A and B are shown apart, each in its own frame.
Chain A
Amino acid sequence: MRRSVYIRICVAAVLLLLPLLLAALLSSDRLATQLDQRNLAPGLEHLFGTDWLGRDMFTRTMKGLALSIGVGFLAAVASGLIAGSLGLMAATLGKTVDRIITWLIDLCLSVPHLVLLLLISFVLGGGVKGVVVAVALSHWPSLARLMRAEILALKASEYVLVAKQMGRSAWWIATRHMLPHLLPQFIVGTLLLFPHAILHEAAITFLGMGLSPHQPAIGIILSESMKYLSTGMWWLAFFPGLCLFVVVRAFDMLARSLYQFVDPARFQR
């Protein structure tokens, strides 16, 4: 059981590190237009073929994935921090704060995700910055709600009440009793934000949002490939789409395996 979890974690980690490594190793020169090499089907020279401007699709896909993973990382960490602190504040700072934060969570959850992403990105003027901030600012609500509920449940648990009655300080209770219980939940919850963030990065770049067509981003690659699908250039969409799917699944697998690792009992339940 433990071994298979280890194996899955390793496979997922390799799948995630590979595009990062390749993106760093592959020369940016292969992103430049090579008009005499255009529309080539996949082959040894160009593993994923070339596009209508002769750009190497393998390089574009790997750099695009690296950007997606980067955005996913930034967004997940930022969302995790927001969710953690808001969840904590809601659960500990009294009813008024709790009401405001719960209202904020409900508000964000009530707006369709993609619309919220577009709005934030648009307000920030688009570009990579807009995409990162939009994804970061739109993924925290569900985790914040989870953290709030966990803390409220913990506050009412017997061992915390006993500790309180024995005169332990709030800080002592928070660090000794609450944190060890909350941290695994928090880390796994944050990890599970990754695949969502990556998919949403792809979706929002698919819609443009001020990114340059020079920028190798998976969403841009996919949306541009749509124009050329009817000419039979299937490789423009197939490989980048497949790679995106693999990366998202790998993140999902990693998070799940870690979850199983830190809290096997809960996972089996």
Chain B
Amino acid sequence: MRKKLSKALVGSLAALIILAGCSESRGSLDNAARSTTETAEQKQHLILAIGGEPDEGFDPTTGWGRYGSPLFQSTLLTRNSELEIEEDLATSYSVSKDGLIWTVTLREDVKFSDGEPLTANDVVFTFETAKGSQSVIDLTNLLAVTAQGDYTVMFELQAAQSTFVDVLTTLGIVPQHAYSANYAKQPIGSGPYKLVQWDKGQQLLVEQNELYYGDKSPFTQLTFLFLAEDAAFAAAKAGTVDVAAIPSSFSTQQVSGMRLEALQTVDNRGIMFPYVPAGSTTEQGYPIGNDVTSDPAIRKAINIAIDRQLLVDGILEGHGTPAYSISDQLPWWNEATVVEDGNSEAAKQLLAEAGWSDSDGDGILDKNGLAAQFNLLYPAGDALRQSLAIAVADMIKPIGIDIAVLGKSWSEIEPLMHANAVMLGWGSLDPLEMYHVYGSQFAGVGYYNPGHYTNETVDQYMKQALAATDEEQAMELWQKAQWDGSTGLSAKGDAPWAWLVNIDHLYLVNEKLDIGQQLIHPHGHGWPITSNIEQWKWME
């Protein structure tokens, strides 16, 4: 029996260690050796552990590169590091006075990596495929797209849409002749790199596209390793990667041979509250609504009780800023949405006025027999969201609201997210995102508006902003949607979210690698850091 128990002990410990090992070091470090032998020669091969492996593959028509920089494909227009619009595949574009017709002229020297020329037909094919894919790319406003000769494309919109330019900067063009069901795994495009091999869950090998029309990067080969954050950090410490994305908790550590780059972002994290009372279900039968979070007093009290600066200092190690909206600091952000936070007394008063009291003395408020308790879900593997969730729950507890923090996989969260609060993140360089996240017509559409938020006035402002042909007018309308003095989608208005922080993207970068002037990074998914790869340099 003694032997048996020791065996069980050893076995269990071994199982723990093996399991820990599995979760830690997804992906191989085989490339380590290659990296070190190469440093002696001219450095042409970079190894990057920057996360963000797209599960659905590399098809722009279903969402790859929707935050820009598709790498394998190129876009009609692009944004420079100052966020100004520049031509990429296009040589020029024009918009009709009523805002309904957009005409784009293409470069004539562009070839896909398989040698076939890129023509207007490919652009038409791409937009039609993306429109038909019913994915995250919203092209419902696109009435028709037609080729006018080989190198001119005409887009006809149902209604004027000021943000259509953002679609042109993000949707990578796919080749009509080489597009199949397997395209997401074997993409062919006109971007700076082409895919060589993708070992899902482990690594992606890419090499330079010799036929690329733009400036060429000095790096002919890139290897993307898909490592967990701690494994990426360990790899950086061991000197086996040139760039590693790390969480803020690791940012206080010095790593020899690497420097820390804290890149400014609009990548935010916040709590999405179910906005409506419980009772209904989605088409798939998932429950909608939550009786506690549907009370505006609860949502507002949480918004003013949270000490956002403390979260930035304590969890992000100072590498970030407090977030008050989905679009802090962007041109369409309304500064009036900043609420005075970290004020639990005001929060308590607000709750008391709304009829919440601790009638049974258990430290948790209640109202008509309903206790102020709800679940807050977060994706289990995400250490940052977990830390934020735990810290917020502890911050909120003293005002009498009990938040149960639960880590789940995305597939578990999806059926639950209409009836439970979820720690989500957004952040786009396109105001259309605000329309998706807060627009009533997007209630329950994918991850857009899972809390089923609706406000007719807000909807009106956003629709008018989209239809505006004047940039300044559009910005003003987006700002009014957030707060117009009496209502809005921000914490001052309906408070369907409690935004917490904007996080800096932190990378450990090899001291010899210059990563150029980076643009403000949007929310992850894709690789914003590589969007200016042609500017990267190796300095011996």
Give the interface of A toward B (CB within 8 A).
32-33, 35-36, 38, 52-54, 114, 192, 195-196, 199-200, 202-203, 206-208, 210, 212-214, 222-223, 226-232, 248, 252, 256
Q: Is the CB of B233 within 8 A of A199?
A: no
Bound together, the chains give a CA A227 to CA B315 distance in angstroms of 15
Q: Are the C-beta atoms of A214 and B404 separated by less than 8 Å?
A: yes
- Inter-subunit contact B406/A212 (CB<8 Å): yes
Q: Which 5 A-B pairs have the closest CB atoms?
A: A35-B314, A33-B394, A199-B12, A32-B394, A33-B391
Taking CB as reference atom, which chain B residue is nearest A142?
Answer: B4
Given contacts A213-B405, A231-B253, contact A206 B19 (CB under 8 A): yes
9 further contact pairs, Cβ within 8 A, besides A202-B12, A212-B405: A32-B397, A35-B391, A53-B315, A195-B8, A195-B9, A199-B12, A208-B380, A213-B386, A230-B234
Q: Note all chain B residues with C-beta closer than 8 A to A35.
A: 310-311, 313-315, 391
Pick the contact of A208 from B20, B234, B252, B407 — CB < 8 Å?
B407
Contact status of A252 and B5, CB under 8 A, knowing A32-B394, A35-B391: yes
Whether the pair B230, A53 counts as a contact (CB closer than 8 A) is no
- Smallest CB gap from B310: residue in A: A35
In the complex, whether B237 has a CB less than 8 A from a CB of chain A is yes
Interface: B229 (CB within 8 A) = yes
CA distance A151 to B334 in the complex (A): 79
Chain A residues with Cβ under 8 A from B383's Cβ?
Answer: 227
Q: B427 → chain A, closest Cβ, in Å?
A: 23
Q: Is the CB of B314 within 8 A of A228?
A: no
Which residues of A sit under 8 angstroms from B394, Cβ to Cβ? 32-33
Chain B residues near A213: list those with CB within 8 A: 386, 389-390, 405, 407
Docked pose: A265 CA to B389 CA in angstroms: 58
Alpha-carbon separation in the docked complex, A256 to B313 (Å): 52
Kindly provide the distance from the CB of A193 to the nearest chain B CB, expressed in whole angstroms: 11
A228 partner residues in chain B, CB cutoff 8 A: 230, 249
- Are B5 and A214 neighbours in the complex by a CB distance under 8 Å? no
Q: Which of B1-55 contact A (CB under 8 A)?
A: 1-2, 5, 8-9, 12, 15-16, 19-20, 23-24
Closest Cβ of chain A to B367, distance in Å, is 24
Given contacts A33-B394, A35-B314, contact A232 B253 (CB under 8 A): yes
Q: State the CA gap A232–B380 with chains docked (Å).
A: 23
Is B241 in the interface zone, CB < 8 Å from A?
Answer: no
A107 to B233, CA, bound (A): 44
Q: Is the CB of B390 within 8 A of A214?
A: yes
Would you list 8 pairs from A and B whose C-beta atoms are within 8 A, ordered by A residue?
A32-B394, A35-B391, A52-B249, A54-B314, A192-B1, A195-B9, A223-B20, A230-B237
- Chain B residue contacts of A52, Cβ below 8 A: 249, 387
Tell me the bound Cα distance from A210 to B405 in angstroms.
Answer: 10
In the complex the two chains form, what is the Cα distance from A210 to B393 in whole Å? 17
* CB of B250 closer than 8 Å to a CB of A: yes
Chain B residues near A199 (CB, 8 Å)? 8-9, 12
Chain B, interface residues (CB within 8 Å), range: 35 or more
In the bound complex, CA of A32 to CA of B233 (Å):
28
Assess whether A226 is in contact with B230, with CB atoms less than 8 Å apart: yes
Q: In the assembled complex, which residues on chain B have CB atoms less than 8 Å from the CB atom of A33?
A: 314, 390-391, 394-395
In whole angstroms, how far apart are the Cα atoms of A230 and B233 in the complex?
A: 8
Contact in complex: B5, A222 (CB < 8 Å): no
Chain A's closest residue to B251 (CB) is A231
CB contacts (< 8 Å) of B404 on chain A: these are 212, 214
Contacts of A206 in B (CB 8 A): 16, 19-20
Asked if A222 and B249 make an inter-chain contact with CB atoms under 8 angstroms apart, the answer reads no
Within the assembled complex, what's the spacing in Å between the Cα atoms of A256 and B3? 12
Q: How far is the CA of A203 from the CA of B249 in the complex (A)?
A: 26
- Minimal Cβ-Cβ distance residue in A for B232: A230
- CB pair B23–A226 under 8 Å, yes or no, is yes
In the bound assembly, the distance between CA atoms of A169 and B200 in angstroms comes to 69
Task: Take A199-B8, A203-B16, A227-B230 as given contacts and tell me if A53 and B23 are in contact as well, using a CB distance cutoff of 8 Å.
Answer: no
Question: Closest CB of chain A to B235's CB: distance in Å?
Answer: 10
Min C-beta distance of A170 to chain B, whole Å:
31
List the B residue with the shortest CB-CB distance to A196. B8
Give complex CA distance A230, B252 in Å.
12
Shortest Cβ gap from A80 to chain B (Å): 16
By a CB distance below 8 angstroms, the chain B residues around A248 are 9
**In the assembly, what is the distance between CA of A199 and CA of B12, in Å?**
7
Most A CB contacts (10 A, CB to CB) among B23, B310, B389, B390 go to B390
Complex alpha-carbon distance, A82 and B164, angstroms: 67
| Pairwise interchain contact B24-A226, C-beta atoms closer than 8 A | yes
- A53–B249 Cα distance when bound, in Å, is 10
Bits for B286-324, please: 1 = Cβ < 8 Å to A, else 0.
Answer: 000000000000000000000000110111000000000
**Cβ contacts under 8 Å, A212 to chain B:** 404-407
* A195 surroundings in chain B (CB, below 8 A): 5, 8-9
Separation of A230 and B397 alpha carbons in the complex (Å): 32
Within 8 A of A (CB), among B361-394: 380, 383, 386-387, 389-391, 393-394
**B16/A53 in contact, CB under 8 A:** no
User: In the assembled complex, which residues on chain A have CB atoms less than 8 Å from the CB atom of B391?
Assistant: 33, 35, 53
Q: How many whole Å from B112's CB to the nearest CB in chain A?
A: 42
- Give the residues from 222 to 249 in chain B that come closer than 8 angstroms, CB to CB, to chain A: 229-230, 233-234, 237, 249
